[in-house]
Structure 1
Amino acid sequence: MLVIENIEAVERRLWTAADQLRANSDFASNEYFMPVMGLIFLRHAYSRYLAVKPEIEASLPSRGGVRPALTKQDFTSRGAIFLRKEAQFDHLVNLPDGADRAVAIIAAMEAVEEDYPTLKGVLPKTEYQSLENDVLGNVLRIFNDPALQEARGDVFGRIYEYFLTQFADQSAHDGGEFFTPPSIVQMIVNAIEPDHGSVLDPACGSGGMFVQSAHFIERMQQDPTKVATFYGQEKNATTIRLAKMNLAVHGLEGRIEPGITYYTDAHELVGKADFVMANPPFNVDEVDAEKVRKDPRLPFGLPGVNKGKKVSNGNYLWISYFYSYLSDAGRAGFVMSSQASSAGGEEAKVRQKLIETGHVDAMVAIRGNFFYTRTVPCELWMFDKAKAPEHADKVLMLDARQVFRKVTRKVFDFSPEQSQNLTAIFWLYRGQEERFRELVSGFLSRCVVDAIAGLLKEPAFTAALVDVLDALADDTELEAASAVFTSDWEAFTETVTSHVGGGDMSVPDIAALHSRHDALEPMAEQSRDLIRQIDQLYKLAEKAHRDAGGKRGKASPVKALEEARVEAVDQLKLVRYFHRQAHWLLSRFPDARLVAVPGLVKLVDRAELAANDWSLTPGRYVGVAPEEEDEDFDFEGVMRDIHIELAGLNEEAAALAVQIQGNFARWGL
């Protein structure tokens, strides 16, 4: 799987290919964008094709050892695209040097269009005729990056955004528009659960909302092409082509129309959409107020209009549009600037009217650095026109700014488990206690499963450690640490074994979950201690090996120990990780009921909203969480590391002093 930690390096390699096109063609910067994205489309489509092909072949009946030919429908039902031989990326990469690659790429695009008529005129073709044959060969090889061969998720959308940024193509990337990170889209999907009917995104960009909605439907064991219809609107023709390509590569189709949403309603879905999802451009100014004044999509009237008869900020236009599109039982989830939830003036009046409908369901605050190309914080708004009666005058306020995973120095996201935990709050809000208990039970089960898997990593580490000890003269410190480790590992094994077994497969009640959580806590702590010991043993072994004059080659016993250490530590980390996920939920919601948690969540009634100027900013209501101690900080371990490093530096300093003294003697000084 292509993980986000690696994708930046992949993007830089792909950009190298784009640079080759730019340097070896007459294209302007905004012209070679589509040829590049066309090849990314074929690469990503081929990855998905390969991922599902074995599963499809295994499901086909066999007569006399012969299976029927693969069809488009086989792949569509599994969220992939069917590719004829001439459209498969390895065919293009392996063309002989004398072959006309432009002709072959055009033939590949035409083959896809024949099977998917909705892509007629969408895929780039003629653009490749302007490129040198050897340049195309180099680009194809670069795009055959091994990481892309295993890519999953909305990689196309992510790379699309990267290329938009690099190209600085303002016609397709206005200042307020940017790619929605998958973890934010996933949060919206999990909250509103778009599992049927019409799904509308009036600012659809590359179509990521539709892709994630389809994945949600697939997890419900349904075919998204049969139970949902995707409607999109986008102002830029290039972006529309990209959205259609993105949908197609996932085996989907959508009705995506051109148009500026402020002034046009391409699908005429006012009052008809089952779900609305969007990440509109933030804080757009200068929308012509006279053009939109009588728009039926503005049931609460216009927000602020300046002296030039322009809407000074378009945020509440979008908010009103999203509300107006919903059917009587519709739900909406969208991203919005954090400024909007407490904006004053005419915007506050619109917000008050919106709240008074009783259809504002939830607000989620997201910290900055979640967006790939922007550092701005944001909020997720949720509407529900079919809210439970007991929630009619309430809004769920969820402040998720302290929930994040730091992926790179500049990019944060939600881990899958963090996303599940936040989603569980919505379950409790909706009275779905069993889903909450099932999630906690799953975390605790993973804790045991990963502990069992951890036991299987010990023999390799111990064997590598013995090899290091055998290669050294007596090292009492390392031997002593090794003996302690062996004893502690035996204790861990006994603990893990005590938790292995069958039992009732039903979801435990909340009391049973607390008991299981408490029973597994010693095992989770043991795993943490063992990680510290493994790391210390490796450092001691590395130092002893270095002191004995050993080198760090591939055949070095220390190298083998390092590899075994990484595998053991990575596995053991999961034991405590999943126990802590269960603890996060149980400590905040001990009775599997929604309660106010300082700094995280509160159910706010209309009277409190009115007393706070109708603000919808979660942080204004949930308060501040008590500061938590970093349980993972290992003071003793840090001191041990410093001691080992200091001892090594002292030895190096002594050796260097002897060498300097010898040099002085040779120079007669």
Structure 2
Amino acid sequence: MIADHLTGIEQFGADLWKLADDLRANSGLASNEYFMPIMGLLFLRQATNRYYAALATIEADKAAGKMPDRPLVDADFRRRRAMLLPEAARYDVILDMPKDGQIGAALTAAMEEVERHFPPLAGQLPKDYERFDDELLESMMRKFDTEALRNAFGDVFGRIYEYFLAEFSKQGAHDNGEFFTPPSIVQTIVNVIEPDHGIVFDPACGSGGMFVQSSHFIEDAGQDTMKRVTFYGHEKNETTAKLAQINLAVHGLQGTIRAGNEAITYYKDPHELVGKCDFVMANPPFNVDEVDADKVKGDKRLPFGLPGVNKAKKVSNANYLWMSYFYSYLNENGRAGVVMSSQASSAGRDEAIVRQKLVETGAVDVMIDIRGNFFYTRTVPCQLWFFDRAKERDPQRADHVLMLDARNIYRKVSRAIYDFAPEQQKNIAAIVWLYRGQADRFLKLVESYIAQAIAEGRATAEPLADYDKALGKLINLVQPFVTENRDPDPLAETWSELTGVRATLAADIAGFDAEVSARAADWAGAARDNAGLHAARAGLHPMAERCRDMTKQIDLAAKLAGRVVDTAIKELDARDHALWPNAEVTRARKALEAARAAAVEALRTARYFVKQADWLQERFPDAALRDVEGLVKLVSRAEIAAHDHSLTPGRYVGVAPEEVDEDFDFEEALRSIHIDLKGLNEEAAELAARIARNFEELGV
């Protein structure tokens, strides 16, 4: 599953901040004291969500005869990645209990009950709720009972952990570059290394997001995570390690996570996993310069030696310690995917020597450049490094590294946050599939985009009909007033344009429906090979162009309808006229805006999937890997050596050509500006007249 984790994140953060304000003002506690109680509440919220979702699936399986009608046991829920929550530990039950001053005790008892039923969580959950005021606890619980959190999924704990780190300025957790890895980056790592069996290790596991996304990958392939993999982790911050255990538990997962001093990867290997891991995934702290060189010298996990030692006998920069660890933990067929500072791939001096030795092993597999603003609290760019130890034994594969510059692949989630859309993650993975000779997977993805585009095209019928109905209703409501004889008539020009646009739009909707039906019929008989997919995709371009043109017409009609209403009210005092049904017009205008948004989104989605198929097939027309300027290049070790063993993708792939915005319509833009400008000019004239009247009344 490639999930969309950042939808509504700004509102999500704002709601959390309100909760933090309440706690700061009313609890008398410092942020580090109420951090875990909040996480405990979120744990119960999420565990309850998953419990009821699993219960619904179980009941459906019983009804379908897929399982016997018998008392439920823990295993029934674990198979569905949930916990069999005791009734007294369910969020809704606690929230609905009588308010008799016992909420704190009930929450503490709930945590103890969960730990009894789920031994991996023993000692991990907060149990100090009785020190909170009951009214405050109820307020907190109700804030976490929103529709968004009742339906939350994905690595919720990691997002909230990062949010609190940012808002409460826990600089101790940030000073060494330690911060939560955004889900879209984690998912990209998972898509490339495909951790579907054996030992999965994260030596800087944070809140456990790597494990959770690995589980999603395995479950989507129809496998049982706990039967396929074993999770191991290190996390030096004990509070964060507790979050990781909670995060695993709420997803019905288990792992062995070591915390505290014994889990400082620079000096300890508590799991003794050197040479044993099938997959290593991590986002380690960047650019650490306080590692004691004497303590790590001679470590068997450092086959390439130390990357430089400063005068204080500290390792100058620990980035390449981490790289050596990742390499050493892998078995002979193991893969690793890690996040690293963008500075590391071209670092000089002793770090360059270690990098050269890494390249010469042949294990360096893929390098991906990521632009800045992907992390929630920092704007720094980063790179993803991928190792494949099996590649070392294949002379042809060992001699090349796939360089992929993904800095131009992103979507803007908010002013400060970027990420990969789900389809962008798939497209990056598709390039790697071609690199590995898996053209069939590439073609399946293109096929899925074409099928989705047609399905979304068909799904536009209802929102387009709703929009036409909403537009017609508003027009019918105002028509008796608008068509009264006036001279001059300030509504005439706009009304004429509106009715004309509506007539054109009605014809366009009918034509679009016919176009979609024709393309669906063609697709049913189309070949699914590369040539057939090219032809089917090209056949969708008229449909996609209609989506673009109709979106403009829909927006224009809505804007003109709004202009008619505003002009009638402001210039003709329509609200005081017997022919003007004011309340109905207001409701109809709101309904039109909702219908417009739905119709535009439906058209955008249909066109979006055509564009995704275009993106892949235009860049890789033969369903085979090729160099694409500014995006990807397969680079030999000789070429890497000629560039001082730099592993910076942008150094090899070149600069992407500037893309022309095909959606920009100069004529339409001028028309929209004209409508807006006309309204602004009329408002300015009205304001000037009002000012003049005021001056007259003052006798000026």
> Same fold, TM exceeding 0.5?
yes
Change (3 A) 1:309 1:660: closer
Q: 1:227 to 1:507 in 2, by over 3 A?
A: farther
| Alignment of 1:646 onto 2:677 | yes
The answer to whether the 8 Å contact 2:4/2:422 transfers is: no
TM-aligned CA deviation for residue 658 of structure 1: 4.0
The worse-fitting range, judged by mean Cα deviation, of 1-10 and 132-141 is: 1-10
Contact 1:233 / 1:256 at 8 angstroms: preserved in 2?
Answer: yes
3-state secondary structure, aligned to 1:270: coil
Residue in structure 2 matched with residue 562 of structure 1 by the alignment: 593
Q: Counterpart of 1:335?
A: 339
- Alignment partner, residue 250 of structure 1: 251
SS in 1 for 2:200: strand
Distance 1:657 1:323 in 2: 73
| Alpha carbons of structure 1 residues 623 and 172: separation in structure 2 relative to 1, 3 Å | closer
Q: Do the aligned partners of residues 232 and 667 (structure 1) sit closer, same or farther apart at CA in structure 2, a change above 3 Å counting? A: closer
The one of 352, 358, 382 equivalent to 1:378 is 382
Contact 2:373–2:418, Cα closer than 8 Å, also in 1? yes
Separation (CA, whole Å) in 2 of partners of 1:509 and 1:482? 42
Name the residue aligned to 1:495. 515
The alignment's TM-score, normalised by the length of structure 2, stands at: 0.92
Partner of 2:298: 294
The separation in 1 between residues aligned to 2:204 and 2:81, in whole angstroms, is 23
Q: After the TM superposition, which of the residue ranges 492-501 and 417-426 deviates more from structure 2?
A: 492-501
> 1:60 corresponds to which residue?
62
Distance, in Å, in 2 between the alignment partners of 1:20 and 1:469 is: 48
Q: Distance in 2 between matches of 1:13 and 1:661?
A: 46
Q: Which residue of 2 aligns with 1:482?
A: 502
**Range that drifts further, 230-239 or 11-20:** 11-20
Partner deviation per Cα, 1:85-117 (whole Å, 9 max, x = no partner): 111111121222214111100111112111110
Greater CA drift, 327-336 or 146-155: 146-155
Instruction: From 79, 94, 102, give the equivalent of 1:77.
Output: 79
Query: Could you tell which deviates more after superposition, 160-169 or 176-185?
Result: 160-169
- Which residue of structure 2 aligns with residue 91 of structure 1? 93
CA distance in 2, matches of 1:617, 1:537: 49
Check conservation: 2:526, 2:532, Cα contact below 8 A.
Answer: no
What are the residue-to-residue correspondences of 1:500-519 with 2, within 5 Å? Answer: 500-501=520-521, 508-519=528-539
Name the structure 2 match of 1:442.
448
Whether contact under 8 Å (1:2, 1:152) holds in the other structure is no
Structure 1 equivalent of residue 427 of structure 2? 421
Residue 202 of structure 1 corresponds to: 203
Q: Which is further off, 448-457 or 329-338?
A: 448-457
Question: For residue 592 of structure 1, what is the aligned residue in structure 2?
Answer: 623
Within 2, Cα distance between the matches of 1:492 and 1:650? 37
The aligned counterpart of 1:35 is 37
One-letter amino acid of the structure 2 residue matched with residue 433 of structure 1:
A
SS of equivalent to 2:33: coil
Q: Is the 1:2–1:147 Cα contact (8 Å) retained in structure 2?
A: no
> For the residues of structure 1 that align with 2:667 and 2:44, how far apart are their CA atoms?
53
Q: Deviations over 1:210-263 (max 9, x none)?
A: 000010000110010111000001111111111100100110000001211000
Answering whether residue 676 of structure 2 is matched by residue 627 of structure 1, we say no
Report matched runs for 1:315-326 at 5 Å: 315-326=319-330
1:3-51 deviation digits (Å, cap 9, x = unpaired):
5242232233233333433444454432221111111111122222233
Give the one of 308, 314, 317 matched to 1:313: 317
The one of 99, 103, 111 aligned to 1:101: 103
CA drift at 1:61: 6.1
State the Cα distance separating 1:648 from its structure 2 match.
1.3
1:250-302 deviations in Å (ceiling 9; x for gaps): 10000001211000001100000000000000000021000000100000011
Measure how far apart 1:557 and its partner are. 2.0
1:506 Cα offset (Å)? 9.2
8 A Cα contact 1:172 1:239, kept in partner: no
Tell me, what secondary structure is at the counterpart of 1:30? helix
Q: Which residue of 2 aligns with 1:602?
A: 633
CA contact (8 A) 1:300 1:320 kept: yes
Q: State the identity %.
A: 56
**Matches of 1:61 and 1:407, distance apart in 2:** 41
| Aligned alpha-carbon RMSD (Å) | 2.0
Alignment-derived partner of residue 166 in structure 2: 165
Cα distance in 2, alignment partners of residues 405 and 343 from structure 1: 29
- Aligned partner of 1:141: which letter? R
Counting only pairs closer than 5 Å after superposition, residues 234-273 of structure 1 correspond to structure 2 as: 234-258=235-259, 259-273=263-277
Letter of the aligned partner of 2:667 in structure 1?
Answer: E
Q: Distance in 2 between matches of 1:362 and 1:201?
A: 19
Q: Distance in 2 between matches of 1:504 and 1:612?
A: 50
What SS does the aligned partner of 1:544 have?
helix
Q: Work out the number of aligned pairs and report it.
A: 667
Contact 2:165 2:173 in 1 (8 A): yes
For structure 1, which segment, 384-393 or 626-635, has the greater mean C-alpha deviation from structure 2 after superposition? 384-393
2:390 matched to 1:359? Answer: no
SS in structure 2 opposite 1:302?
coil
Partner Cα separation in structure 2 for residue 135 and residue 649 of structure 1 = 48
Report SS of the residue matched to 1:152.
coil
Change (3 A) 1:270 1:536: same
**Residues 526 and 536, structure 2, Cα contact 8 Å, conserved in 1:** no
- Asked whether the equivalents of residues 441 and 507 of structure 1 are also in contact (C-alpha less than 8 Å), the reply is no
Task: Tell me, in whole angstroms, the C-alpha distance in 2 between the residues paired with 1:496 and 1:26.
Answer: 62
- Is the partner of 1:60 in helix, strand or coil? helix
CA contact (8 A) 2:173 2:179 kept: no
Q: Which residue pairs with 2:492 in the alignment?
A: none
Q: Is the CA contact 2:207–2:244 (under 8 Å) kept in the aligned structure 1?
A: yes
Greater displacement, 101-110 / 328-337: 101-110
- For 2:507 and 2:634, the matched residues in 1 are separated by 50
CA distance in 2, matches of 1:153, 1:478: 45
| Closer/same/farther in 2, CA of residues 499 and 202 from structure 1, 3 Å limit | same
Q: Which runs of 5+ in 2 are unaligned?
A: 484-494, 576-581
In structure 2, distance between residues paired with 1:498 and 1:215: 37
1:398 paired with 2:404, answer yes
Q: For residue 113 of structure 1, what is the aligned residue in structure 2?
A: 115
User: Does the 8 Å CA contact 2:334/2:388 hold for their aligned counterparts?
Assistant: yes
Q: Residue 330 of structure 1 aligns to a residue in which SS?
A: strand
Which string of whole-angstrom CA distances, capped at 9 and with x for unpartnered residues, describes residues 35-87 of structure 1? 11111111122222233321122113699x99433332222212222211111
**Shift, 1:452, TM fit:** 0.7
For the 8 Å contact 2:215–2:225, the answer to whether it is kept is yes
1:663 to partner: Cα distance: 4.2
